[in-house]
Amino acid sequence: MTINEKDLKANETKRSKGKAEKHPSENLLGWLLKVVVLVGVLLLMVYMLLTALLSSFQWGRNIRRDPVRMELNSAALLKETKFTDSYGGKIHKLEIPIKADMTGGNDLCLWVVHSYIDVYFDGELVYTTKEPSTPHIGRSPGCYWVFVPMKTNDAGKTIQIFVRPAYKQVSERLPKVYLGRRDEVVGYRFLEEMGMVVVAVLCIAFGVIFSALALASKIRTAGNRAIFYMGIFIAVIGLWKFTDTPSVVALFNSQAHLFTYVCLLCLCYFPTTIMAYLTWLNPGERMYYVLTRVYLLFALAVTFMQAFNIRDLRENLHLMQMLLVTCIVFILEKNIYNLRYHDNNWHKLAFIVFGIAGFGDLVLYLYGYDSFHQGFTLTMVLFYAIINGIMVLVKTADQEDELRRRNLQLKNSQMALMMSQIRPHFIYNTLNAIYVLCGREPDRAKIAIYDFSKYLRINFQQMDKTEMVPFKEELQHAQFYVKIEQLRFSDAINVKYDIKEEDFSLPALTLQPLVENAIRHGIRSANASGSITVSTFAQEEEYCVCVEDDGEGFDVEKWEENIREKGGEDETGRRHVGLANVRERIKQYGGRMMIESEPGHGTRMIICMPMDEDALFLPEKMIPKEEKHVGKEKHAGKEKGKQKKGK
């Protein structure tokens, strides 16, 4: 008999379709728990949506109508602007006359954006933000609050505020000026920004939770990795908005400089995180993979320039915004174009909505230099993340249950196979043969003891193994067994090895049982001599191992029927399930095994394992069928390389 691809393709139809059955549905209590969780999430979403909408109305309100405090018009207070050689190139002077009703427990509150401030009361310096004289990282003091208390005797004085912008990009920005008690001003700002703060905190919390659960999961799939990067993505966007909120900065005003740079870094790395998420959400789209690397290199470059005081992050803000625009445009174009494909359509529609909303937010920011209106978009992103995260994590939990079931089956079948390999009469016959050799040929006896001990040792070592083992180890195990049998039957057994491929793996204890079957049930069942050939080869996307003998053969259909109906038990009550166990274990790992035999014409057994590791049902990961094409691209590249070397 010869091995050819036609025979293999003919046997393809005979392979078992018995993939592991789906895990049973949860009981009634489990379903009730899921309903409660979903209702809770929906209620939370409604609350957050209403909060975001109410906050949006508050942000647009004329706050001067509030009697608790007053916001002054900074542009109306501007008296003069001088051009200088300082960082921003300008110095703005604002003046505020202090009336009697402004004093008595009130404060002068300033929200300053990337500027140095000097405050004078009738020429007396009462507050200053000095530029550092020693080398420092960044030329900006950040975005921070200035609180100057006003006493009763300050009535009638004039407040003079000198503003020195740190960058030319913010040279026209004036601080927001408030008169009122410090806690009331901060409290009012917090009420205005409450929706943004709540959504930002929830984004950070859910992002950390989703990423941690994805890391803790034993399943390594594209969907699981997508959830990990989705967690990072929403945590980054939440941290960005959290550190960009003035009422939050007021609580940590001494660390305002740190908050500013964390905010800028989040904005810098935001496109990278969203592209990384989309890369794993759409494994077939290579452009996402390329853009992730491009955006990451850009983010690392601007971070390097900031760290070594070459160019500040804030000076590169326009580049970050351009990068964000390209990111939004690409996402819109890709998802609109891919709507014609009906897979993951809800993801595509969600990102189209996010892209349009994000583009609108960016335009409004560039027009008004205010990002407070972005709470609604952030809320939609959070809703999407919660829904998608729960769906994928529930699916991952089901896969973990399936994985535990598979591992239990593997261990049970492996234990049964191992016990079937170590039979008392085989051990007795081997020891008896070694005993005879000790008197006649002591040197051969030593070799036989070594081979037998190695054979037993490998059996016991592989008893609990669920991971794949290198083919070389399996071949070595089979060779030790062949030497033991040749010790007993001498020249009656002739084994040839035609090994063309050996750089692949097999489930433990798969090759030796096939060789044993060829010897015991193929050649020795007729008490005759014969030959066995063990060969390996590669075909298409599989590595194949073939064990072929010229023994007496058997009727495969009758054997299959006996396995199904009687569990492999023969007339004498003995069970012959070695081949069936091996075939079942090969199937559990994602491979296939074919048996060809005819009475009087020998037997051929072929094991085929996928070259692509993503197509294997390994214990540490279980790749769903729809994600297998990711690895095929990698394998195609490897095959091209091999062809070039062959040429």
Q: Which CATH class is domain 70-180?
A: mainly beta
Output the CA torsion 260→265→271→277 (10° steps). -110
How far is the CA of 262 from the CAs of 255, 270, 299, in angstroms? Answer: 11, 12, 13
Kindly write down the DSSP assignment for every residue of 155-204, as one continuous string.
TT-EEEEEEEESSGGGTT---EEEEE-HHHHHHHHHHHHHHHHHHHHHHH
Tokens, residue 6: 């036609």
First-to-last C-alpha distance (Å) of the chain? 30
Section 463-469 average pLDDT: 72
How far is the CA of 631 from the CAs of 390, 396, 590, 612, 636, in angstroms? Answer: 26, 20, 14, 6, 9
Tokens, residue 471: 């083919």
Per-residue pLDDT reduced to its tens digit, 148-178: 998 888 888 899 999 999 888 888 889 999 9
- What is the distance between the alpha carbons of residues 459 and 455, in angstroms, rounded to a whole number? 6
Per-residue pLDDT reduced to its tens digit, 201-225: 888 998 998 888 888 876 677 778 8
- % of the chain beyond a pLDDT of 90: 19
**Domains in the chain: boundaries:** 70-180, 189-401, 422-611
> In 15-147, which residue ranges form alpha helices assigned H by DSSP?
28-59, 74-77
Per-residue pLDDT reduced to its tens digit, 547-579: 999 888 888 888 888 877 766 565 544 555 678
- What is the distance between the alpha carbons of residues 240 and 259, in angstroms, rounded to a whole number? 9
Orientation angle between helical segments 222-243 and 256-281, nearest 10 degrees? 160
Closest among 217, 195, 194, 198 to 206, alpha carbons compared: 198
* Whole-structure pTM value: 0.60
pLDDT grade for 250, boundaries at 50, 70 and 90: very high
Tokens, residue 121: 């009361």
pLDDT, the chain, mean? 76
User: What share of residues in the chain are helix, strand, coil (percent, to 5)?
Assistant: 60, 15, 25
- The CA angle 201-207-213, to the nearest 5 degrees, is 135
CATH topology of domain 189-401: Rhopdopsin 7-helix transmembrane proteins (1.20.1070)
Which pLDDT score is estimated for 89?
87
What is the radius of gyration, based on Cα positions, of the chain?
37
Give CATH for domain 422-611.
3.30.565.10
Which pLDDT score is estimated for 213?
84
Per-residue pLDDT reduced to its tens digit, 611-628: 877 656 554 443 333 333
- What is the distance between the alpha carbons of residues 171 and 90, in angstroms, rounded to a whole number? 6
